[in-house]
């Protein structure tokens, strides 16, 4: 059995302006988009969701890219964006596919990619998680060193040639989220056999 590793780079950018307050009665809107890009590799993969060519997609988070801070704090589905990783071309002998999600990990939560926006108006104590759409409460560990934290595709997902995922905006520290601009970068690393 031969194991071949390769990397796909995926830009997961949630960019926009977070213009909300923590109080639901005073909540305003949060403008966020989620962008994903892939590079060519041996096993062709694609991103489905949002707009783009499957290699460079922009996926809005929230209704039309707008979500309020109170929705993020409460864990509302309005603070989520769904997308899929798809196998577009792979050897029929593919039996195992594992995906490690790399990025700038939060010190507080190992499943959160930090806000990469360094401007003066950047959102604070917010990040993004990535999980299976069927298990949004079990996000993947960022920079996972073992299979327990990474996306290990099931045989059904391999046969279906896709895995539905969800990106969720979350607080990195409870009650500390602040409004502002947000963007995040993740790299999907694929290992298959």
The pLDDT of residue 26 is 42
Of residues 141 and 94, the one with the higher pLDDT is 141
DSSP E strands in the chain: the ranges are 4-10, 13-18, 30-37, 44-48, 51-52, 56-60, 80-89, 97-103, 113-114, 126-132, 151-152, 162-171, 186-192
The pLDDT of residue 84 is 94
Nearest to 89 by CA among 131, 36, 38: 38
Q: Indicate if the pLDDT at residue 12 is higher than 70.
A: no
Q: Indicate if the pLDDT at residue 64 is higher than 70.
A: yes
The pLDDT of residue 191 is 87
Point out which residues pair with 43 in neighbouring strands. none
Q: What is the pTM of this model?
A: 0.79
| 133-168: burial string, b at 16+ Cβ within 10 Å, e else | eeebeebbbbbbeeeebbbebeeebbeebbbbbbbb
- The per-residue pLDDT for range 82-93, each reduced to its tens digit, is 999 999 888 888
Q: Indicate if the pLDDT at residue 44 is higher than 90.
A: no
Domains identified in the chain and CATH numbers: 4-192 (2.60.40.1090)
Rg (CA), the chain: 17
- The per-residue pLDDT for range 23-34, each reduced to its tens digit, is 444 444 455 556
Q: What percent of the chain has pLDDT over 70?
A: 78
The pLDDT of residue 46 is 86
Confidence of residue 99 (pLDDT cuts 50, 70, 90): very high
The pLDDT of residue 129 is 96
């Amino acid at each position: 059995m031969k194991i071949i590793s390769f990397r796909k780079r995926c830009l997961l950018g949630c960019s926009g302006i977070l213009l909300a307050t923590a109080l639901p009665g005073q909540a305003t809107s949060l403008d966020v988009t989620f962008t994903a890009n892939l590079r060519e590799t041996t096993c062709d993969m694609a991103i489905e969701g949002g707009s783009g060519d499957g290699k460079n997609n922009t996926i809005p988070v929230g209704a039309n890219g707008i979500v309020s801070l109170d929705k993020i704090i409460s864990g509302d589905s309005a603070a989520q964006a769904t997308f899929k990783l798809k196998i577009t071309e792979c050897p029929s002998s593919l039996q195992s596919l594992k995906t490690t999600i790399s990025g700038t990990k939060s010190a507080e939560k190992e499943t959160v990619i930090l806000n990469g926006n360094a401007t003066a108006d950047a959102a604070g104590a917010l990040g993004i998680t990535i999980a299976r759409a069927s298990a949004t409460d079990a996000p993947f560990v960022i920079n996972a060193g073992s299979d327990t934290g990474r996306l290990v595709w099931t045989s059904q997902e391999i046969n279906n040639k896709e895995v539905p995922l969800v990106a969720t905006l979350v607080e990195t520290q409870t009650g500390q989220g602040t409004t502002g601009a947000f963007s995040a970068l993740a790299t999907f690393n694929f290992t298959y056999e």
